[in-house]
Amino acid sequence: MIEQHPNVEYVMLTDKQIAKRVKAVAKQLDKLYEGRTPVVVCILKGSVVFFSDLIRNMKTPLTIDFMAVSSYGNGTK
């Protein structure tokens, strides 16, 4: 069951719908990279939960790495 939050008008996708799609994407990637060992890069910190769910669902051997990026340039004060 989805916990309602007072600031949320409606839920676009349930947790089950998201999990189902993540599994489907993992299956597609397994097929695409069959016989290879891809390097899968997680952009910290915003994608770590999705990244973890995705690689847990993949059966392909893989190497993981992490990258920290910033959207702020030298002009930011």
Residue 73: the pLDDT is 65
Find, among 61, 53, 45, 43, the residue nearest to 21 by Cα.
Answer: 53
Residue 54: the pLDDT is 97
Instruction: Name the pTM for this structure.
Output: 0.77
Provide the residue count of the chain.
77
Answer yes or no: are the C-beta atoms of 30 and 58 closer than 8 Å: yes
- If one compares 64 and 73, the residue with the highest pLDDT of the two is 64
Bridge partners (DSSP) listed for residue 65: 41
What integer is the mean pLDDT of 54-62? 97
pLDDT tens track for 2-38 = 567 788 888 888 899 999 999 999 999 999 999 999 9
What integer is the mean pLDDT of 42-47? 91
